[in-house]
Amino acid sequence: MSVQAGFAQLARSGGRGALVTVIRVDDGATTAAVVGARMLVGADGEPQGSLGDARLDEAGRTAAAELMWAEHCEMREVQGVGLFVDVVAPPPRLMVFGAVDFAGALCRMARAAGWRPYVIDPRGRFATVQRFTDAEEVVVAWPDAAFARLGGIDRATFIAVLTHDPKLDDAALEIALRSDAAYVGAMGSRRAHAMRRERLLARGMTEEELGRISAPIGLDLGGLTAEEMALSIMAEVVAVRNGHPGGRLSAMTSGRIHEVGG
């Protein structure tokens, strides 16, 4: 299978990868690359094909590994050579820990935004498919087993901890905060979060690790209903995914607004 066919297969199957193509070789470029050479890099970082030069291959592999997780395509200039990095990626995952009523609204909001929501809770009487019809999957297990069943936590995984039960919250957070998760948020008041911090410090977690928690979770929308609170959380995770602060657009003095891809 050609690298181009492999890239198309990744796109069809909902996989993650990047196709690096030489689109320009400047006069005087010290490389054996030719226009049209391609290299495919999968989520595991292993390349297929070559750009015609070992140094270009390494630069292309590095760019592919970066951009496939940033989830955008980009031109790169290397040694007088123009490389185009084309990226495919599956919808991001939102792992919702805690089969509470509010989790249903969050799953609905995530699904509407094109995300893949999962509900995780070891309490089988609460974690049922019937209660969470919008979830990609409902996993009845403790965090370590649940995360393993879902293929682990990668850089495109966002985690929302909602249970208010210390023994469940702390177990999930201890794993999440030491993972590659793009975002870890936890529900609770400031007082509850202060107590949570003390418990996690006592379990051996560091201040740097605890600094990754977004708590109280979500943006300040003033919402009261389950749907409004779910919107608050989704607003924050979308902002984090896109590298934005989540402020009001009317306060922006530069940058693109309401840009929609073609």
CA-CA distance, 65 to 71, in Å (whole number)?
10
- Percent of the chain at pLDDT above 90? 67
CATH class of 93-241: alpha beta
Q: What average pLDDT does the chain have? A: 89
C-alpha dist (Å) from residue 238 to 5, 127, 156: 31, 25, 12
Domain with CATH 3.40.50.720 in the chain: 93-241
Residue pLDDT, tens place only, 105-158? 999 999 999 999 999 999 999 999 999 999 999 999 999 999 999 999 999 999
SS3 (DSSP) at 175 = helix
pLDDT tens figures, 215-250: 889 998 888 898 999 999 999 999 999 888 877 665
